[in-house]
Structure formats: C-alpha cells, structure tokens
C-alpha cells in the first residue's frame, strides 16, 4: 500500500435558534477547534507537511459573520411564522459553520468554508413535525415556509385512520420517501457490499443512480478530486465506492466521496449525495393505476442492515380506486436488495430534492441530501407502528 499522510484542522462555530410561540431564544455562538493526523501504509518517515492552527482561530470577521447570520435566521423565523399566521409552533434552526484546512503528502492543500442549517418545525405537543436542512443560507426561509406549510396542512387534516387495510400492499413513494429508500438501500448497500453487487441487477431498466458532488468541492475529505460516478446504470450495479483505506481491498480507485464529520476521524466513503434518475412515467397518472395502496410523503426514520432497508413512514394517505383519501397512522415497510428489481415497478419523471436529514454511521453524523422521483413499490410488507419514542430525533433514527 502506498504511504500517505494527511493533516486536517477543523474550526467550528455553532448556534441554536428556537422560536416558541411568540418568543425567540438564541444560544450564544460556541467555538471549538481540533486537529486530526492520519498515516496510511508503509513505514512512517519524517514529514515537513505542516498546517497552521492559528489561522483557523475565530477572527473578528468570522464572529461578525456568525452574528449576522444568526440575526438573519431569527428574522426569517419570525417572518415565516407571521406570514402563515401561526403562533402555536416550535421552530428550531441549528447553525453550523465549519472552516477546514487540509494538506497531505501528495502536495494537496485546500481550505473549505462550509455551513449547514438544520431545520425542524413541530406543533406544541411535539407529535407532528417536519425537518429539513440546507448548506445555503439563502434557502433557509423558503425551506422554513415549506416545512410550516406542510405542518399546518397536517394540523388542518387531523383525522387519522389508524388501521391500515390489509389490501394496501402497493406503496407510492413521494420524492422525499423515495430518496430515503434509495439512500439506505442503494447507498449503504454499495458502501457495505459493493464488490458483491457488481454486475448484478438490483432494479428495473429505468433505475439509474449516481453520486453527486456537493457544492462543487474541489476535493473530498481525503484530498481526492470528486467526480460523477454512476453506481447503477439501467438497473445494474456498475461501480463501487471506496476511500483510500478500502480502495486496495476493493481493487478500485478512491471515488472522491470520502466524508468526515466536523471534528471527525478519518474520512470514509459515504453515499450522502445521490441522484436517482427519472423514469418515463408522469407522476400525475400514477395514482390512477393503483386500486389499493398508500401515498407516502413523510419519513420518521430508516435503517439498513443485512441487505434490507427498513423505513418508518410518518405521513401517508390511503389510495382507493386512484383517489387519495384519509391519513393513516405511522407504519414501517422493508425492501431488500434481492427483491427491489421485482418490487420497484414504476419510476416517474418528476425527480426533485428530497427533504434533507442526517445520516449516522461510524459514529459520525453527516448531512445527506438526495434527489429522487416518485416511485411505485408492489407487494411490500407493511407493519403498523404506534412507536413515538423517537419523535424528537432530527436524523434518521435506527429502527429496532
């Protein structure tokens, strides 16, 4: 294995804003810094690669920028609630601004200045909530309005049919739910057992999945130049994913998808930004061909294990004879890599960004934003679930 050394310094600023009814509270901006050094392969030799810690300490300009950002977010939260005329909601916006300086023994040196905004809107009882996230401050207000609008719609339509008819075995997954399913099943599936899947059909000919490059970064967190990688082409797995440590074992080159959380350890290949291609079917015609099923629009959590993705749906409605009816209670469904090709019967042409969340793996939580179209799953096992113990989790929680 080729010897490789990297040094990474993170300086992080975080702030939490909470709007409760008509009261707005803000935590102080907190700062923290860390240095991470990693050596891979061979015998370690002295290196003159150094990195300046002092340059990443909070500067007056950075402090001013964070204070300005917090004030802008606070104003947006007030305006969003005022615009929709709601005062019985809880709005939480977590702000994380990270400056990362990176260098390695291949003469790669780069600086990344990134921000992330975690958004959660909930009712007073905290039993209805909508979450999202973005790395662009200019998108926060629009996402807040979107989350509040969805939450308000749920409040207006509070009647829930708790019993799911046994005949409902077809699931129409809206883009957000489809994005979660593909992130768990295809993303984690390729991360965990990509070599075994190469050349194997896991979906219909209309299924195409590729890795996206978030924010057009010049390097991933291992100094590898990102590139668009097609993982699934016409339903067949054609590529795997690898970081520097796993590449020799998998016998492929690093794919430029390595990510490390703020103050994290060594970067690992993660499929946190996936693009699922569009199919040939218009979504407006999809419900018309579903006699009995469920229209799924919200996700509470998801988990991948042993080639199976378990998804917990928080918002769904019954489909009867092509018409969308009443809401149903929370439930779970599962899909496996071995059965996806037969159960994924329709992929629509309406691909869009699903609601963002955080994915936790290797004890590190990373933002994940995936794009997907509406899809149809047939003959899927459905389990009613009255569990509410993880309502306050902001990431995709692990299911038992």
Are 354 and 130 in contact by the 8 Å Cβ rule? The answer is no
Whether residues 126 and 193 share a domain: the answer is no
**Mean residue pLDDT across the chain:** 85
Same domain, 51 and 189: no
How many helices (H) and strands (E) the chain has is answered by 6, 25
Beta-carbon neighbour count of residue 156 at 10 Å? 7
Cα 282 from chain centre: 25
Q: Are residues 139 and 192 in the same domain?
A: no
Rounded Cα distance, 143 and 150, in Å: 11
Contact in structure between 290 and 170 (CB atoms under 8 Å): yes
Predicted pLDDT of residue 154:
84
Looking at residue 398, its pLDDT comes to: 32
Is 70 exceeded by the pLDDT of residue 105?
A: yes
**Does 358 fall in a domain?**
yes
Whether residue 383 is predicted with pLDDT greater than 90 in this model: the reply is no
Whether residue 42 sits in one domain with residue 146: yes
Q: Is the pLDDT of residue 217 over 60?
A: yes
What average pLDDT does the segment 219-230 reach? 89
Candidate ranges 54-58, 161-165, 208-212; pick with highest mean pLDDT: 208-212
Structure tokens belonging to residue 17: 């804003």
The answer to whether residue 290 is domain-embedded is yes
Domain boundary among 100, 124, 154: 154
* Selected residue with higher pLDDT from 91 and 46: 91
Residue 314 sits in the same domain as residue 367: yes
Question: Which pLDDT does position 70 carry in this prediction?
Answer: 87
pLDDT band for position 184 (cuts 50, 70, 90) = very high
147 and 8 belong to one structural domain: yes
Rg (CA), the chain: 22
In a domain, 23, yes or no: yes
Q: Does any domain span residue 396?
A: no
Task: Please give the residue that has the higher pLDDT: either 280 or 390.
Answer: 280
What would the pLDDT profile of 132-148 be if each residue is shown by its tens digit?
999 999 999 999 999 99
Indicate if 136 and 254 belong to the same structural domain. no
Domain that holds residue 187: 170-384
> What percent of the chain is predicted at pLDDT more than 90?
45
Select from 154, 179, 197 the last residue of a domain: 154
Do residues 303 and 310 lie in contact, with contact meaning Cβ atoms separated by under 8 Å? yes
Instruction: Tell me the residue length of the chain.
Output: 400
The model's pLDDT over 278-321, given as tens digits with 9 standing for 90+, comes to 999 898 878 677 888 899 999 999 999 999 999 999 999 988 88
> Is 40 inside a domain boundary?
yes
Q: Is the pLDDT of residue 48 over 60?
A: no
Residues 238 and 371 in one domain: yes
List the one residue out of 382, 367, 396 whose CA is nearest residue 299. 396
Convert the pLDDT of each residue in 66-86 to its tens digit.
Answer: 888 888 888 888 888 878 877
Percent of the chain with pLDDT over 70: 88
The reply to whether 257 falls in a domain is: yes
CB 41 within 8 A of CB 141: no
pLDDT value, residue 110: 85
- In terms of DSSP bridges, do strands 308-320 and 323-328 run parallel, antiparallel, or are they unpaired? antiparallel
Q: Looking at the structure, tell me whether residues 345 and 223 fall in a common domain.
A: yes
Q: Are residues 352 and 220 in the same domain?
A: yes
Task: Go through 66-88 and write b for each residue having 16 or more CB atoms within 10 A of its CB, e for each that does not.
Answer: beebbeebbebbeebbeeeebee
On whether both 206 and 337 belong to a single domain, the answer is yes
Asked if the structure places residue 326 within a domain, the reply is yes
Residue 255 lies in a domain: yes
Q: Can you give the pLDDT at residue 396?
A: 38
Q: Are residues 15 and 119 in the same domain?
A: yes
Q: Indicate the number of domains in the chain.
A: 2
Is this structure's pTM higher than 0.85?
yes
């Amino acid at each position: 294995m080729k010897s490789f050394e990297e040094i990474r310094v993170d300086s992080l600023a975080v702030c939490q804003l909470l709007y409760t009814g008509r009261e707005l509270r803000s935590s102080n901006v907190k700062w923290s810094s860390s240095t991470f050094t990693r050596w891979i392969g061979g015998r370690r030799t002295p290196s003159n690669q150094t990195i300046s810690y002092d340059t990443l300490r909070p500067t007056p300009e950075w402090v001013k920028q964070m204070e300005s950002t917090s004030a802008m977010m606070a104003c947006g939260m007030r305006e969003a609630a005022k615009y929709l005329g709601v005062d019985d909601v809880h709005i939480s916006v977590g702000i994380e601004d990270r400056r990362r300086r990176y260098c390695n023994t291949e003469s790669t040196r780069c600086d990344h200045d990134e921000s992330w905004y975690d958004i959660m809107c909930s009712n007073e009882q905290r039993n209805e909530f909508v979450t999202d996230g973005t790395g662009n401050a200019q998108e926060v207000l629009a996402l807040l309005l979107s989350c509040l609008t969805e939450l308000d719609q749920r409040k207006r339509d509070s009647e829930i049919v708790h019993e799911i008819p046994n005949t409902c075995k077809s699931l129409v997954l809206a883009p957000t739910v489809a994005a979660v399913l593909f992130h768990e099943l295809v993303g984690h599936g390729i991360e965990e057992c990509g070599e075994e899947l190469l050349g194997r059909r896991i979906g219909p000919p209309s299924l195409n999945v590729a890795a996206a490059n978030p924010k057009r970064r010049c390097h991933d967190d291992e100094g590898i130049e990102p590139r668009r990688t097609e993982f699934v082409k016409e339903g067949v797995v054609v590529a795997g994913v690898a970081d520097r440590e796993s590449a020799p074992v998998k016998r492929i080159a690093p794919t430029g998808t390595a990510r490390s959380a703020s103050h994290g350890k060594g970067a690992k290949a993660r499929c946190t930004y996936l693009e699922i291609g569009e199919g040939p079917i218009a979504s407006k015609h999809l419900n018309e061909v579903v006699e009995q099923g469920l229209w799924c629009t919200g996700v509470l959590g998801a988990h991948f294990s042993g080639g199976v993705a378990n998804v917990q749906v928080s918002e769904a409605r019954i489909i009867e004879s092509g018409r969308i009816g009443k809401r149903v209670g929370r439930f779970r469904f599962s899909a496996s890599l071995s059965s996806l090709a037969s159960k994924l019967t329709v992929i629509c042409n309406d691909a869009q960004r699903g609601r963002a969340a955080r994915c936790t793996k290797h004890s590190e939580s990373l933002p994940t934003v995936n794009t997907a179209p509406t899809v149809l799953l047939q003959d899927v096992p459905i389990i009613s679930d009255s569990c509410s113990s993880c309502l306050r989790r902001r990431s995709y929680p692990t299911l038992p």
